[in-house]
Structure formats: structure tokens, C-alpha cells
Amino acid sequence: MTTPLLDVRDLRVSFPVRQAGAMPWTRPRHLHAVGGVSFTLQPGETLGVVGESGCGKSTLARALIGLVPATGRAEWQGGADLIGLSARQMMAYRSQIQMIFQDPLASLDPRMTVGQIIAEPLVTHQPALPRSQVRDRVKAIMDRVGLLPSQINRYPHEFSGGQCQRIGIARALIVEPRLIICDEPVSALDVSIQAQVINLLMRLQADLGLSLIFIAHDLSVVRHISDRVMVLYLGKVMEIAPARDLYADPQHPYTQALLSAVPVPDPAHDPAATVVPLKGDLPSPMDPPSGCVFRTRCPRAAPRCAAEVPVLAGDRHQTACHFPGPFTPQEIVRARATEAA
């Protein structure tokens, strides 16, 4: 059995929030952004992470690279726990774990040339490398991600959104990492450019043996690139399974609702017969529901769901639900009738 590249256990992130007008001695409330997430990531594997906005996907990514404080364990291959490391201690792993951000242009310093932006991680982690070698490696990685090496002295504002994201990918790859965390890297791009960037990431992963944690809203994109998919809701894992199994046979009601909302390019398809509506809005992470956090919006909610927290159970296909399984046509009809009422 291959040792996981990353083994995350009970990862939690919360932020103290002091209400406006509260007295200085009043204890702050806590916003629970990530609530006990556990998963493993194998070398060369892509783990897709999906969920609505506000479900903790980006916070999870930032916790793994030490940008926000967290508790729990994130064991790197070899036994080191990344959670709780100081900035100095984390420097030893910065070259192993890189990140691609959501907004291509905003993640690049407008005062730096493309060459300086891409070279910055290399200069930081390998300061003794001669300047000529740095420049050669920058040009080589630019060519690899589809940028012209002759553009090395241009500034970010001179590039399109897709080109800026290629710059971000080159910056992440320049130090030859083992894991890249992609925080919605294509959500701000046109559909045609999204496909180009996704194909580029897949090609680079195959060539370099990278592991990816790919965060996205678009379930079709996640299906295309991921080996396994993890579904988050209000900071908790609802379901995690191989991508083929999860898309063919989703077990959690939340996963089924997300998948049913994906547009189907078929004129004969009737959304009313398959779309599972979600009741209400996402609850506040400052005051999450008792028991199953999804119960306030779940068509199957029962008294047990309010009293008991479901355990993520299963072997390859894991689900945190007291009543897993596909929705029946009768359940869909009842759910739509409840929504209409």
C-alpha cells in the first residue's frame, strides 16, 4: 500500500467574531469554517473538492499551507505534521506545496515583470542559484505552460486572464513541487479558456507526477480532472468517493442535489423530473444546525438527523448520512411540492 502524500485528520478552522457594540470583556463567538475534515491524498492523485460558496473549500486550502491557523493533523509523507508549524518551520515545505489562486490578475504583483514573478519562489528557496540559471529556468517553464519566453519582461496587465493564470501556474511549478492546491483556478475564465487551462494542468500532472487538490464550483470540470471527489457542506465532508462512482451513484442528498442542478445538453431532458430542490439558504457557520448540518435543507430530514451527527462511513465510497441512497421519483415530487408551497 502506497504511503499517502498527505494524510489529513480532523482538520478544524474557526475564527473569533466579536459582535458590533459588544463590551470588551464579552467573549467572542466563533465562526466554524472547517469542522473536522479528514481525507488522504496519494502521490499523483487529483482530489476534487466541491460545494456551495461558504462551505469552507478555500479555507481548507489555506489551512493546509499555513495561511490560516488550524487544529488537527495534516501529515506530510514522511511523518511531519504541517498543522501548527511556525512560519520558519513551514519554509521547509513551501517548495513542496504550491498554490494557484482564483483571480489570475489579482494574484500577480503589478509592479513586477513576468520574469520576476515566476522567479520569486526560485530565488526564495534557492538563493545561491546563479542569475543566468534562474532566467533560463524561467524561460523554460514559460515555454512549458504556453507562454512566449520573449514576454519575460512584460507586466501582468499586458496579458489576458488565461495568460495570467498560466503565469500563476508557471510560478507554482518553478520550484518543482509535489502538491499543487488549485483554488478555483478557472472560475474567472471564459469557458473555452477554462478547457485550455484544465488540459494544461492534466498534461503537466502526467508529465511531472504532481498531486492536485482541485477546488471548483463547476461539477463538470471536477469530473473531468479528478480521480476522487470530496463534497463539503458547511465545513464538513458529506461524501467522498472515486469520481466515477460519485457521479454514477451519488449517495448523499446534498451531492444528488448538486448533480441534479448541472445542465444537461439534451432537448428531451426534463429538469422537473430529476432536479432535487434545496430548501432555504446555507445556514450561518456561526450557528450551525445540531446533528447533521444539512438537515435544515434536506428533503429526507427526520428527528434522528437533529439529534445525532452522522459518521462518514464506507470503504471506497464514504457518506455521512443517516438515510443514504438515490432519491426516488416520489421524493423528488414531494420536495418540489414543498418548495412551491
Give CA 85 to chain center in angstroms. 22
User: In the structure grid, which three cell numbers stand for residue 37, read together?
Assistant: 475534515
Whole-angstrom distance between the N-terminal and C-terminal Cα of the chain? 52
Integer CA distances (angstroms), 340 to 269, 279, 333, in order = 21, 10, 11
Instruction: Read off the pTM.
Output: 0.90
User: In the structure grid, which three cell numbers stand for residue 252, read together?
Assistant: 448523499
Strands (E), 70-227: 71-76, 97-100, 179-183, 211-215
**Overall residue count recorded for the chain in this entry:** 341
- Answer positive or negative: Cα dihedral of 180, 184, 189, 193: positive
- Return the pLDDT at 210: 94
What domains, with CATH codes, occur in the chain?
A: 6-15+31-96+177-340 (3.40.50.300), 112-170 (no CATH)
Q: Which amino acid is at 319?
A: T
pLDDT tens digit at each of 341 positions of the chain: 578 999 999 999 999 887 777 777 778 888 889 999 999 999 999 999 999 888 999 999 999 998 999 999 999 987 789 998 888 888 888 889 999 988 888 889 999 999 999 999 999 999 999 999 999 999 999 999 999 999 999 999 999 989 999 999 999 999 999 999 999 888 878 888 888 999 999 999 999 999 999 998 888 889 889 999 999 999 999 999 999 999 999 999 999 888 887 766 656 655 555 667 777 888 888 888 999 999 998 888 899 999 999 999 988 999 999 999 887 777 777 766 666 55
Beta carbons within 8 Å of 276's beta carbon, 6+ residues apart: 253, 256, 257, 260, 299, 327, 331, 332, 335
- Return the pLDDT at 189: 82
DSSP-derived 3-state class of residue 8: strand
